[in-house]
Amino acid sequence: MNQYSDFAFVYDELMNEVDYDNWVKYIEDIIKSENVEVQNILELACGTGNLTIPLTKKNYDIAGIDISEEMLQVAREKGEKENVELVLLEQDIVELDFDVTNLDCILCGCDGFNYITYDEDLEGVFSKCHELLKENGIFIFDISSYYKLSKVLGNNMYGENREEIAYMWQNYFDDYENLVEMDLAFFVKGEDGRFDKFEENHLQRAYKNEEIIELLKNAGFEYIKTYGDFKLEAPKEDSERVFFVCKK
Ligand SMILES: C[S@@+](CC[C@H](N)C(=O)[O-])C[C@H]1O[C@@H](n2cnc3c(N)ncnc32)[C@H](O)[C@@H]1O
C-alpha cells in the first residue's frame, strides 16, 4: 500500500468541507463533560495538523505522531505559515515509542485507527495508550463506522471534477476480512495547465463497535463511552463516525 504520499499534498484541499473548528469544539465539549483537566495531549495519526494546529493555538501542549513523512511536511509548512510551533514525530503508531508518561489526553481524530487492520496491533496501541495516560486521563478517538465502510463506501465509486483537481475513488469491500481497499487516482493541474496523474491504494479495516470495545477492555480500559456523528449521544445504526471516549 502506498498511502498518504502524493495524496498528502492534496489532502487539505479535498478535506476543505470538513469543519475542523467544530471538531475541536466537540473534543473540548467531551473533555468538559468528562471533568478531566487537560493540558497535554498526544495526538496519534495527526496528518497535516488539522486538529494539532488549532489545539496548539488554544495553548494545549500537544505532540503529533504520524507515519507519513509527507503529511507531516504539510503540517510543518502550515505551522510555519501560521507561526505555530509544532512538535511532530514520524512514527508508526503500531510501534509507538513515546516516553512521556502521565498524559492528560490521547487523541486520534478522523479514522486513523481504521488503518490498523489487525486486532492484535490495535489492541497493542490501546495498551500503550493505557500505559501512557495518567490516572483518570482521557482517550478520545473516532473511527469510520462499520456501516460507512461496508455500505457507504462499500463497492462504490466516487469521483469529482474540480477546477484544479479531479479524482476517481473506487472501493472494494471484502466482507470476510472486513477490509475496504480504496484505489485512488488523482489528476492535479500543473502550472502549464496540464494535469498530472498519481495513484494510491488505501486499506482500512471496518470494525464493529463491540470489537473495538473488546480490544479496549483487553487493553485495560473499563470506562468506555461511544457517541455518534458529533453528538453527545449513542451512535445509531447508520452513524458514519463513531467516537470512543475512555478513561483510565
Ligand atoms: C484520514 S487521515 C487523518 C489525519 C488527521 N488526523 C486529520 O484529522 O486530518 C489518517 C492519517 O493516519 C495516518 N496513519 C495511518 N496509519 C498510520 C500508522 N500506522 N501510524 C501512524 N499514522 C498512521 C496517515 O498517515 C494519515 O495522516
The DSSP annotation for 21-71 comes to HHHHHHHHHHHHHTT----EEEEES-TTTTTHHHHHHTT-EEEEEES-HHH
Are residues 158 and 113 located together in one domain of the fold?
no
Kindly tell me if the per-residue pLDDT of 81 is higher than 80. yes
Instruction: Give the Cα separation of 181 and 106 in Å (integer).
Output: 28
Instruction: Give the Cα separation of 105 and 168 in Å (integer).
Output: 37
Q: Is residue 103 part of a domain?
A: yes
- What are 70's three cell numbers? 509527507
Question: Using a 6 Å cutoff on CB, does residue 12 contact ligand 1?
Answer: no
> Cell match 472486513: residue?
178
Do residues 93 and 125 make contact, with C-beta atoms less than 8 angstroms apart?
Answer: yes
Are residues 168 and 195 located together in one domain of the fold?
yes
Kindly tell me if the per-residue pLDDT of 110 is higher than 70. yes
Type of residue found at 26: Y
The string of DSSP codes covering 160-199 is EE-SSEEEEEEEEEETTTTEEEEEEEEEEE-TTSPEEEEE
Kindly tell me if the per-residue pLDDT of 1 is higher than 80. no
**pLDDT-derived band of residue 71, with 50, 70 and 90 as boundaries?**
very high
Question: Using a 6 Å cutoff on CB, does residue 67 contact ligand 1?
Answer: yes
Instruction: Give the Cα separation of 34 and 15 in Å (integer).
Output: 29
CA of 63 to the centre of ligand 1 (A): 14
Spatial CA neighbour of 55 closest among 33, 35, 69, 75: 75
pLDDT in tens, 115-162: 999 999 999 999 999 999 999 999 999 999 999 999 999 999 999 999
For 34, counting Cβ atoms within 10 Å of its Cβ (0-12 exposed, 13-18 middle, 19+ buried), the class is: middle
CA of 66 to the centre of ligand 1 (A): 6
Are residues 193 and 211 located together in one domain of the fold?
no
Residue nearest to atom 19 of ligand 1 (CA): 92
CA of 29 to the centre of ligand 1 (A): 23
Do residues 165 and 13 make contact, with C-beta atoms less than 8 angstroms apart?
Answer: yes
Q: Is residue 1 part of a domain?
A: no
> Structurally, how many domains does the chain consist of?
2
Segment 176-197 mean pLDDT: 95
Type of residue found at 133: L
How confident is the model at residue 227, as a pLDDT?
98
31: domain range?
8-144+207-247
- Give all strands of the β-sheet with 223-228 in edge-to-edge order: 87-90, 61-66, 40-44, 103-108, 133-144, 241-247, 223-228
Q: Is residue 2 part of a domain?
A: no
Question: Using a 6 Å cutoff on CB, does residue 24 contact ligand 1?
Answer: no
Are residues 196 and 184 located together in one domain of the fold?
yes
DSSP 234: P
Ligand 1 atom at shortest distance from the alpha carbon of 11: 9
Q: Is residue 28 part of a domain?
A: yes
Kindly tell me if the per-residue pLDDT of 184 is higher than 90. yes
Are residues 115 and 228 located together in one domain of the fold?
yes
pLDDT in tens, 17-53: 999 999 999 999 999 999 999 999 999 999 999 999 9
Are residues 89 and 120 located together in one domain of the fold?
yes
Pocket mutation for ligand 1, best pick of 48, 97, 110 (most atoms within 8 Å of C-beta): 110
Instruction: Give the Cα separation of 42 and 87 in Å (integer).
Output: 10
Spatial CA neighbour of 207 closest among 233, 178, 184: 178
Q: Is residue 29 part of a domain?
A: yes
Instruction: Give the Cα separation of 72 and 34 in Å (integer).
Output: 30
Are residues 42 and 162 located together in one domain of the fold?
no
Question: Using a 6 Å cutoff on CB, does residue 141 contact ligand 1?
Answer: no
**pLDDT-derived band of residue 2, with 50, 70 and 90 as boundaries?**
confident
Q: Is residue 3 part of a domain?
A: no
Are residues 86 and 106 located together in one domain of the fold?
yes
Are residues 114 and 160 located together in one domain of the fold?
no
CA of 129 to the centre of ligand 1 (A): 16
Are residues 25 and 45 located together in one domain of the fold?
yes
The domain that holds 212 is classified in CATH as 3.40.50.150
Instruction: Give the Cα separation of 150 and 77 in Å (integer).
Output: 35
How confident is the model at residue 32, as a pLDDT?
95
Segment 202-224 mean pLDDT: 98
